Amino acid sequence: MNRFVSNVTLRLDSKGRVSIPAHFRSVLARDGFDGLYCYPALGRPAIDAGGNALMAEIEALIARFPPFSEEREQFAAALYGTSETLKMDGEGRVVLNEALKTHAGIKDAIAFVGLGHKFQIWEPERFRSELAEATEKVRALKVQLGSRVGAQDAPGARE
Amino acid sequence: MNRFVSNVTLRLDSKGRVSIPAHFRSVLARDGFDGLYCYPALGRPAIDAGGNALMAEIEALIARFPPFSEEREQFAAALYGTSETLKMDGEGRVVLNEALKTHAGIKDAIAFVGLGHKFQIWEPERFRSELAEATEKVRALKVQLGSRVGAQDAPGARE
DNA sequence: TGCCTGTCCATTGACGCCCATGGTACCCCA
DNA sequence: TGGGGTACCATGGGCGTCAATGGACAGGCA
C-alpha cells in the first residue's frame, strides 16, 4: 500500500512532540523520503504533509505557469515559501513550529487524515466538523451520479 | 468467480476478531489485495469492503476533481480519510476499529453481504430489515423492467 | 548560563502471529 | 447407498513484538 488512508488523532507531549502514525511512516519510507515535507494548506486551517510524491505534485502545479509569470511567483511563494521539512526522531516523532500550529489552531492534540498521495494535520475538533461537511457533499454527489446511471455510461457496478 | 456473492453472518470473538468468509477471501486473493480495504458506506449504516477494484473506484471518483481544488480535498478527506486497510491474520480474520463498528451499529455479530465487485458489512438485524425493504423495491423494479426488457439492454450488475 | 534540540532508554498496552480445537460438509470406498 | 475418513473453515487463546508516550541526558546556540 502506498497511499495515505484512515485517520487517527494523537496527543502532543510536554515537549511538543507528536508521533507520526506508524502506517503513515511506512508510506513515507516507501516513498523514499526522510522526514516530513509540510506546509499550511491553502484556504483551510490544516497542514498538508507528505514526501516526494507531494513535492513532485507541487512542482508540477507550479510548472504549469510560465516562468516569471505573476501566478507562478505567487504559487511558489505560497507553497515553497511556507514549506518546512520536519525531522523525525528515532521514534518517528516530529515537532511542529509555531507558524504551522497557529495556522491549524493546534494545541495539544492532532488529527492525522489520509488523503491518498498526501495527508493532512488538523485540530481534532475542527476536523470533526470539516468531515461532517465533506461527507454531506459526497452524499449529494452520489445522488447526482446515481441519477445519471442508466441514462449514461455505467462503468462497473455501483452502489 | 471473481465477484462477491451470497451472504453469511459470523460472530466476533472476545478479542473483536471476525473471520472473513472463505469465499470472500478467495475473491480478494484473486484481486491481488493483501488485507481488506473498507470505509463507512454513504448514507447507510453499513461498511463497504473490497480490494483493489473498490479502491480504484474511489480513486476514479476523486480524480474527477483538479489537484488542490477544494472539492478534491473534501472528497479525499471523506473517502480516503475514513477508509481503513485492515490486516488479515493467518486465519483470515480482521478486527474493525471503533469508528466502523459505531457507524454500522455492530456489537457481536456481522452479516457479510456480497455486492459483486465489493461487499458490505452489516449488523445482522439491520440487514434483515434492509433486505426486506430492498426485496420489495426489486420486485417493483422488476415489473417496470419487464416492460422495458427486449427494447433496452440491462446494464451491469447492481446492488 | 539557560534554553532549545536531538538522541537515547523505559514503560505499557494493543496488536500481529502462532498453534489448537471443534464442527461440518464433502469425498471416497466398500 | 451408507459409513468412515478427511480436509477445510470458523473460533479460541497464548505470547512476543511494536507503537505510542514519557522522561533523562548530552550538545549547541543565543
pLDDT in tens, B86-131: 999 999 999 999 999 999 999 999 999 999 999 999 999 999 998 8
Instruction: Say whether the CB atom of A90 is under 7 angstroms from strand C.
Output: yes
pTM over 0.95: no
CA distance A116 to A139: 20
Is the pLDDT confidence value at A158 over 80?
A: no
**Which tens digit of pLDDT belongs to each residue from A79-136?**
888 999 999 999 999 999 999 999 999 999 999 999 999 999 999 999 999 999 999 9
Residue at the smallest CA–C1' distance to nucleotide C15: B95
Instruction: Say whether the CB atom of B8 is under 7 angstroms from strand C.
Output: no
Is the pLDDT confidence value at B151 over 80?
A: no
Nearest to B80 among A3, A42, A158 (CB): A3
**SS3 assignment, position B1:** coil
Residues of A with CB under 8 A from a CB of B: 1, 3-7, 41-44, 57, 61, 113-116, 120, 130-131, 133-135, 137-139, 141-142, 149-150, 154-159
- DSSP-derived pairing of the beta strands A17-19 and A93-95: antiparallel
Residue B92 (CA) to nucleotide D6 (C1'), in angstroms, measures 22
Give B19→chain A minimum CA distance, Å. Answer: 22
Is the pLDDT confidence value at A151 over 50?
A: no
For residues B112 and B21, the answer to whether their CB atoms sit within 8 Å is yes
The b-or-e profile of B80-119 (16+ CB within 10 A means b, else e) is bbbbbbbebeeebbbbbeebbbebbebeeebbbbbbbbbb
- Tell if the CB–CB gap between B42 and A138 is shorter than 8 Å: yes
Give the pLDDT band (50/70/90) at residue A150.
very low
Instruction: Say whether the CB atom of B153 is under 7 angstroms from strand D.
Output: no
| Chain A environment of B55 (Cβ under 8 Å) | 3
User: What residues contact residue B98 under an 8 Å CB cut-off, 6+ apart?
Assistant: none
**Which tens digit of pLDDT belongs to each residue from B54-84?**
999 999 999 999 988 999 999 999 999 999 9
**Count of residues in chain B:** 159
Q: Strands of A23-126 (E only): list them.
A: 36-40, 47-50, 84-86, 93-95, 109-114, 119-122
The b-or-e profile of A59-84 (16+ CB within 10 A means b, else e) is eebbeeeeeeeeebeebeeebeeeeb
pLDDT exceeding 70 applies to what percent of chain A? 92
For residues A39 and A79, the answer to whether their CB atoms sit within 8 Å is yes
Nearest to A115 among B71, B81, B85 (CB): B81
**SS3 assignment, position B41:** coil
Judged by C1' against the alpha carbon of A90, the nearest nucleotide is: C7
Judged by C1' against the alpha carbon of B88, the nearest nucleotide is: C16
Closest Cα partner for A11 from A138, A104, A90, A124?
A124
From residues 83-102 of B, list those within 7 angstroms of strand D by Cβ: 91-93
Cβ neighbours, 10 Å, residue B64: 11
Which pLDDT does position B49 carry in this prediction? 97
Residue A153 (CA) to nucleotide D29 (C1'), in angstroms, measures 64
Residue A82's alpha-carbon distances to A38, A40, A43, A53, A124, in angstroms, are 9, 7, 14, 18, 23
- Tell if the CB–CB gap between A131 and B78 is shorter than 8 Å: yes
Beta bridge partners of B11: B109
Instruction: Say whether the CB atom of A34 is under 7 angstroms from strand C.
Output: no
Which pLDDT does position B149 carry in this prediction? 60
Give the pLDDT band (50/70/90) at residue B140.
confident
Give the pLDDT band (50/70/90) at residue B154.
very low
What's the mean pLDDT when you consider all of chain A?
Answer: 89
Q: Is the dihedral of CA A123, A124, A126, A131 positive or negative?
A: positive
